[in-house]
Amino acid sequence: MKTLQKTTCPCCKKTKDKSKIQRTIQLFPFNGAFKATEQSWTDSFLQVTNNYKDLYQWACDTCLKDGSAILGKPAKQNYTFKSPMDTAAPFLAYFDKRYTCQQCKDKFVFTKSEQQYWFEGLQFVVYSKPIHCTTCRKEVRGMKKLNTELSNLLKDGPPKTVAALEQVAAIYKEMGATEKEKMYLALAKKKKRAR
Ligand SMILES: [Zn+2]
Ligand SMILES: [Zn+2]
């Protein structure tokens, strides 16, 4: 088997000699699957990163040194790694990634520190990725909150008090549901007159 000497850093996309990838290599899960091939730790890493380019998220020593990437802590991550082909391999390093928001279709950056927080702080499974940009995420969360408030207010049918009816109208207003807003404002008015 020919021994590989170089691999491409997924962060800076530059070809790196094995002497320039020493920091992440320490985190590479060199387990039974690799030992069976009787290769050294470094050789296994070079082979795996050359053959399965998207399998590992790692970075070269230069990227780690200049701050474009930060080291991961696989022990803190939620991943299942059983074979070299496993798609849920741990993150050896984090660097900014660009995604397209499913709601507003804008490009957004999933920063390295956000990733670290997601995968090591919140312990999200390693293959999860954000589908919305920060703005839309806030909006979606806000909508969810409004929906919960609304269903609480409406759980026994239309509310009986003016205050609650006005609250429902206010929530519909915030949601942009003008017709519903008008309807509940009218109900509140009616109730006020009836007092
Ligand atoms: Zn690099
Ligand atoms: Zn968005």
Confidence of residue 119 (pLDDT cuts 50, 70, 90): very high
Look at residue 29 in the predicted model and tell me its pLDDT: 75
Nearest to 115 by CA among 105, 125, 107: 125
**Closest ligand to 131 CA?**
2
Ligand 1 mean position, distance from CA 69 (Å)? 8
Pick the range with the lowest mean pLDDT from 68-82, 96-110, 144-158: 68-82
Nearest to 47 by CA among 128, 36, 69: 36
Mean pLDDT confidence for 80-98? 79
* Sequence-separated contacts (24+) of 29-37 with Cβ below 8 Å: 29/74, 29/81, 29/89, 29/90, 31/81, 33/82, 33/83, 33/84, 34/84
**Closest ligand to 13 CA?**
1
Ligand 2 mean position, distance from CA 20 (Å)? 37
Look at residue 167 in the predicted model and tell me its pLDDT: 93
Mean pLDDT confidence for 145-160? 92
Ligand 2 mean position, distance from CA 99 (Å)? 10
All residues at 6 or more sequence positions from 107 whose CB lies less than 8 Å from its CB, including other chains: 98, 99, 100, 101
Residues with CB under 5 A from ligand 1 (ion): 9, 11-12, 60, 63
Ligand 2 mean position, distance from CA 170 (Å)? 25
pLDDT at 16 over 90: yes
Confidence of residue 44 (pLDDT cuts 50, 70, 90): confident
Mean pLDDT confidence for 41-64? 90
**pLDDT tens digits for range 132-150:** 998 999 898 898 999 999 9
pLDDT at 195 over 80: no
Per-domain residue ranges of the chain: 6-95, 136-190
Look at residue 33 in the predicted model and tell me its pLDDT: 53
Ligand 1 mean position, distance from CA 50 (Å)? 14
Ligand 1 mean position, distance from CA 162 (Å)? 63
Ligand 2 mean position, distance from CA 46 (Å)? 37
**Closest ligand to 137 CA?**
2
Ligand 1 mean position, distance from CA 68 (Å)? 8
